[in-house]
């Protein structure tokens, strides 16, 4: 369950909300993110949204519903902008009231010594202290009730002490005597903190721009075509009303309303926002369409295949939100530090005031030094350091088609030193063609001889076996058979009498088999089409001549499959699959950056070595004849008991075990869309284009994001580590401390925003 949480300002607030939610019955895990102002609650049993909202409100924060609809996004954006505008006006009001209090300090720099009357100072400072500063009192009080401290408590205690000190000094002063008061310190600190929070909010909003951009891809309506029954004419309906199977019309320049398949027409689709592909992609009949992409200059009809939360765009948004809502391991350490930080700072502030008073500087100076400690020590930057960098990094990565599943993947990708590639569909096109085939026998087995000349009968028999297959080799057989004849022949037309195929099913990593039936009086036989290794395992006798042809094809990089019926081999088929255009450049770039590149393939040694030579992978780094079930073990062997960190790159269809076994799994989105589900679930990183160059790009943005996290944490701790001693030693005034504290938060978020300049 996801719930928005308003009113959080620092890492201590995060800890407060997490502790409150963890106490609820059935709650197993809670992750609260300051940058996204959200809470993710994992629970078992019955737990309603209302219960979570009530707990958040009782903790002193504002619960906000999280809805993925377009209308709710627009309403949330409007409310966010209105609040931002109101906060800006309040900052301007604070500046207007504080400026007259600061002018005497500016005058002192020019040798002009003058001061506002004490009554005027009180009139100007009090609205800032108790009007604009009311939010600090409210939030600080809720923190105290929860047994914890937060940024607001430090600001409230520090500025209130300064205000009361000034009031007490004025009240104690003899009539007509001008005394130095500190109203300007309290007013300016509150104004600067408000200004810092406003700037921080604007910067945080920029870090979430990727999510907003993805939401805006969803059109509001669709042109629903008539179905010939209830609807006799086209009508415009809300996208939320579309159902799977609906036919919609998409005009030039419109966004596709849902995932689907082109059923009529031809066009080009701009998929840059989802995949990072800068060039339009041609879409013809039968091609897959992703909802949210932009139609080009053609008018097409599309049959809807997925809607709502099952659409590719919705799952991408969920994935990016999951990554931005999660916590990196280092952030959990920061949260533990922040949970004790405020109480420790309060103690340091108390000791600072006590020591200075004991040293004889007087209560006035001692209190000012204590206030400086409280103001500069606010842990805002600590709470923002990690999530701001994660939001910016994952957001810009998503803009270029790199989807990062969670923050843990970022830290692990930073340590990768071995890249393992699957071959088919990853380094190669994944669209093999039937290069050559030959009959192994001119006669069929007993009881199954074709009627008349054998001709192309084995090709059509293999094509019927693979008719509904999603495997690239199966599609290649069907394509070759269709190319032979314009009209698709039945088994009877292909010379196989009235035989039929039943129980067609795939054998993982080996091939496809089915039961062949003729008449009730004749025994059924098993028809198989698969690898040479599978046929050898089953004990088929392959003649010396045929095996020589097979070895020749494999030596030239071909993948060979054998067609067998009963106990006899009928034919062999050689398939060629070309490397992707950028495969060699990708391997060269990875090697140049110091990574070891390995290929793990289920194909034969000859085919694997041929592709490896074309793309530049060393012969010693090729692992061939590896079944899908054994790829995970191969990845574990590369890890060498944790001595190496391995990234596995696969096409997301049959590589799920290997992707899960790797330290970082990278799944390339399948060109036909078939691997999307596996890619989004099995891998830590999903590459929305099948471009091997994206592997280096994904590792690069991961490294840069981790570097930003470390920089932010360094500066966040540096502000406090350096600032608290300086304030305790009396070297910082409350005004300077307030400015430094506000600047620390803004600088951390701004540093994270530099990631948005990243380009592949």
Mean pLDDT across 679-697: 82
Cβ neighbours of 436 (radius 10 Å): 13
Q: What is the pLDDT of residues 172-202, one digit of tens each?
A: 777 766 677 778 878 888 887 788 778 777 7
Q: What is the pLDDT of residues 239-260, one digit of tens each?
A: 888 889 899 999 998 999 999 9
Of 408, 335, 322, nearest to 19 (Cα)?
335
Output the pLDDT for position 129.
92
Mean pLDDT across 97-107: 78
Secondary structure (H, E, C), 606-672: HHHHHHHHHHCCCHHHEECCCCHHHHHHHHHHHHCCCCCCEEEEECCCCCHHHHHHCCEEEEECCCC
Of 602, 557, 613, nearest to 436 (Cα)?
557
Q: What is the CA radius of gyration of the chain?
A: 34
Spatial separation of the C-alpha atoms in residues 371 and 164, rounded to whole Å = 12
pLDDT of residue 396 exceeding 70, the answer is yes
Confidence of residue 485 (pLDDT cuts 50, 70, 90): low
Start-to-end CA span in the chain (Å): 34
DSSP state of 574: E
Output the pLDDT for position 171.
85
Confidence of residue 446 (pLDDT cuts 50, 70, 90): very low
- State the pairing for strand pair 646-650/281-283: unpaired
Output the pLDDT for position 527.
87
Confidence of residue 617 (pLDDT cuts 50, 70, 90): very high
pLDDT top residue among 568 and 700: 700
Beta bridge partners of 29: 42
Spatial separation of the C-alpha atoms in residues 242 and 236, rounded to whole Å = 10
Spatial separation of the C-alpha atoms in residues 441 and 276, rounded to whole Å = 50
**CA 613 from centre of chain:** 34
Confidence of residue 390 (pLDDT cuts 50, 70, 90): confident
Phi, psi of 290 (to 5 degrees): -105, 125
User: What percent of the chain shows pLDDT beyond 70?
Assistant: 84
Q: What is the pLDDT of residues 576-599, one digit of tens each?
A: 888 888 999 999 999 999 999 999
Output the pLDDT for position 327.
67
pLDDT of residue 495 exceeding 60, the answer is no
Mean pLDDT across 301-317: 85
Output the pLDDT for position 228.
66
Of 388, 326, 414, nearest to 713 (Cα)?
388
Whether the Cβ atoms of residue 650 and residue 266 lie closer than 8 Å to each other: no
pLDDT of residue 451 exceeding 60, the answer is no
Q: What is the pLDDT of residues 323-354, one digit of tens each?
A: 766 666 776 677 677 667 778 888 898 899 89
Tell me how many helices (H) and strands (E) the chain has.
25, 26
Output the pLDDT for position 714.
87
Spatial separation of the C-alpha atoms in residues 718 and 738, rounded to whole Å = 16
Q: Which residues are catalytic?
A: 422
Spatial separation of the C-alpha atoms in residues 449 and 427, rounded to whole Å = 41
Mean pLDDT across 387-391: 83
Q: What are the distances in angstroms from CA 188 to CA 103, 330, 370, 523?
A: 12, 34, 17, 95
Output the pLDDT for position 454.
39
How is 384-396 classified by DSSP, letter by letter? HHHHHHHHHHHHH
Output the pLDDT for position 338.
66
Output the pLDDT for position 704.
93
Mean pLDDT across 620-649: 86
pLDDT of residue 441 exceeding 70, the answer is no
Whether the Cβ atoms of residue 645 and residue 415 lie closer than 8 Å to each other: yes
Longest dimension (CA), the chain: 126
Spatial separation of the C-alpha atoms in residues 293 and 257, rounded to whole Å = 8
Which domains are assigned to the chain? 2-54 (3.30.70.100), 73-211+320-393+703-757 (no CATH), 221-253+259-306 (2.70.150.10), 402-429+579-688 (3.40.50.1000), 433-576 (3.40.1110.10)
Stated pTM of the model: 0.72
pLDDT of residue 452 exceeding 70, the answer is no
Spatial separation of the C-alpha atoms in residues 255 and 282, rounded to whole Å = 15
Q: What is the pLDDT of residues 158-175, one digit of tens each?
A: 788 888 888 888 887 777
Most confident range (mean pLDDT) of 248-257, 513-522, 603-612 is: 248-257
**Ramachandran region of residue 253, left (φ > 0), alpha (ψ -120 to 50) or beta?**
left
DSSP three-state, residue 531: strand
Confidence of residue 448 (pLDDT cuts 50, 70, 90): very low
Of 5, 6, 13, nearest to 384 (Cα)?
13
Of 606, 605, 609, 627, nearest to 618 (Cα)?
609
Confidence of residue 695 (pLDDT cuts 50, 70, 90): very high
pLDDT of residue 497 exceeding 70, the answer is no
pLDDT top residue among 329 and 355: 355
Q: What is the pLDDT of residues 73-91, one digit of tens each?
A: 556 667 777 878 888 899 8
**CA 46 from centre of chain:** 29
Helices 693-728 and 380-399 meet at what angle, rounded to 10? 170
Output the pLDDT for position 180.
72
Spatial separation of the C-alpha atoms in residues 534 and 562, rounded to whole Å = 9
Q: What is the pLDDT of residues 727-745, one digit of tens each?
A: 889 888 777 777 777 777 7
Output the pLDDT for position 207.
63
Residues found in the chain? 760
Confidence of residue 661 (pLDDT cuts 50, 70, 90): confident
pLDDT of residue 642 exceeding 50, the answer is yes
Work out the mean pLDDT of the chain and round it to a whole number. 81
Output the pLDDT for position 453.
38
pLDDT of residue 71 exceeding 60, the answer is no
- For residue 736, give both structure tokens: 């300077």
Output the pLDDT for position 496.
54
Output the pLDDT for position 492.
54
Q: By mean pLDDT, which of 241-255, 379-393, 566-580, 701-715 is the weakest?
A: 379-393
Spatial separation of the C-alpha atoms in residues 686 and 668, rounded to whole Å = 6
């Amino acid at each position: 369950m996801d719930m928005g949480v308003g009113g959080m300002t620092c890492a201590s607030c995060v800890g407060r909300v997490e502790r409150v939610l963890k106490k609820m019955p059935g709650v197993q895990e809670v992750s609260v993110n300051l940058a996204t102002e959200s809470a993710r609650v994992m629970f078992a049993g019955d737990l309603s949204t209302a219960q979570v909202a009530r707990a958040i409100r009782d903790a002193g924060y504002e619960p906000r519903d999280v809805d993925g609809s377009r209308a709710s996004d627009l309403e949330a954006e409007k409310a966010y902008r209105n609040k931002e505008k109101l906060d800006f006006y309040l900052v301007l009001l604070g500046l207007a009231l504080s400026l007259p209090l600061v002018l005497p300090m500016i005058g002192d720099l020019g040798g002009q010594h003058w001061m506002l009357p004490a009554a005027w100072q009180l009139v100007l400072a009090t609205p800032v202290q108790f009007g604009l500063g009311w939010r600090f009192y409210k939030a600080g009080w809720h923190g105290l009730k929860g047994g914890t401290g937060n940024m607001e408590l430090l600001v409230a205690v520090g500025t209130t002490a300064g205000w009361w000190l000034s009031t007490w000094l004025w009240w104690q002063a003899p009539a007509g005597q001008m005394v130095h008061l500190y109203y300007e310190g309290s007013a300016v600190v509150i104004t600067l903190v408000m200004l810092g929070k406003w700037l921080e909010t604007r910067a945080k909003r920029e870090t979430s721009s990727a999510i907003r951009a993805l939401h805006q891809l969803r059109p509001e309506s669709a042109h629903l075509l008539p179905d010939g029954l209830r609807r006799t004419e086209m009508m415009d309906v809300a996208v939320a009303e579309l159902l799977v199977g609906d036919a919609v019309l998409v005009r030039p320049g419109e966004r596709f309303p849902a995932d689907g398949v082109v059923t009529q027409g031809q066009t080009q689709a701009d998929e840059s926002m989802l995949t990072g592909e800068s060039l339009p992609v041609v879409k013809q009949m039968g091609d897959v369409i992703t909802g949210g992409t932009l139609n080009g200059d053609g008018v097409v009809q599309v049959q809807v295949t997925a809607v709502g939360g099952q659409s590719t765009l919705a799952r991408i948004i969920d994935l990016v939100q999951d990554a931005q809502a999660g916590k990196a391991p280092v952030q959990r350490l920061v949260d533990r530090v922040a949970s004790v930080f405020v109480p420790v700072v309060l103690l340091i502030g108390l000791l600072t005031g006590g020591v200075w008073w004991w040293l004889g500087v007087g209560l006035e100076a001692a209190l000012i030094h204590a206030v400086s400690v409280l103001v500069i020590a606010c842990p805002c930057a600590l709470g923002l350091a990690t999530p701001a960098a994660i939001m910016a990094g994952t957001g810009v990565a998503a803009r270029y088609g790199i989807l990062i599943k969670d923050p843990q993947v970022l830290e692990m990708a930073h340590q990768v030193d071995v890249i393992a590639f699957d071959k088919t569909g990853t380094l190669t096109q994944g669209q093999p063609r039937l290069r050559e085939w030959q009959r192994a026998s001119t006669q069929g087995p007993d009881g199954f001889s074709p009627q008349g000349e054998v001709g192309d009968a084995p090709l059509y028999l293999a094509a019927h076996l693979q008719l509904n297959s999603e495997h690239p080799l199966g599609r290649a057989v069907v394509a070759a058979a269709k190319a032979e004849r314009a009209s698709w022949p039945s088994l009877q037309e292909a010379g196989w009498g009235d035989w039929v195929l039943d129980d067609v099913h795939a054998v993982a990593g080996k091939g496809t088999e089915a039961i062949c039936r003729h008449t009730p009086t004749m025994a059924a036989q098993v028809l198989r089409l698969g690898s040479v290794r599978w046929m050898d395992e089953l004990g088929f006798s392959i003649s010396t001549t045929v095996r020589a042809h097979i070895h020749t094809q494999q030596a030239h990089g071909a993948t060979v499959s054998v067609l067998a019926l009963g106990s006899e081999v009928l034919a062999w088929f050689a398939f060629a699959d070309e490397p992707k255009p950028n495969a060699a450049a990708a391997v060269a770039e990875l090697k140049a950056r110091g990574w070891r590149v390995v290929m793990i393939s289920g194909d034969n040694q000859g085919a694997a070595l041929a592709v490896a030579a074309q793309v530049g992978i060393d012969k010693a780094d090729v692992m061939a004849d590896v079944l899908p079930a054994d790829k995970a073990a191969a990845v574990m062997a590369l890890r060498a008991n944790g001595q190496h960190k391995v990234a596995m790159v696969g096409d997301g269809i049959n590589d799920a075990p290997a992707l899960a076994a790797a330290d970082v799994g990278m799944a390339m989105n399948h060109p036909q869309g078939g691997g999307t589900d596996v890619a989004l679930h099995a891998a830590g990183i999903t590459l929305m284009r099948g471009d091997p160059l994206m592997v280096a790009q994904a590792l690069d943005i991961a490294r840069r994001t981790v570097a930003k996290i470390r920089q932010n944490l360094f500066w966040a701790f540096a502000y406090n580590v350096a600032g608290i001693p300086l304030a305790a030693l009396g070297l910082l005034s409350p005004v300077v401390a307030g400015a430094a504290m506000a600047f620390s938060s803004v600088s951390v978020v701004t540093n994270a925003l530099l990631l948005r300049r990243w380009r592949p």
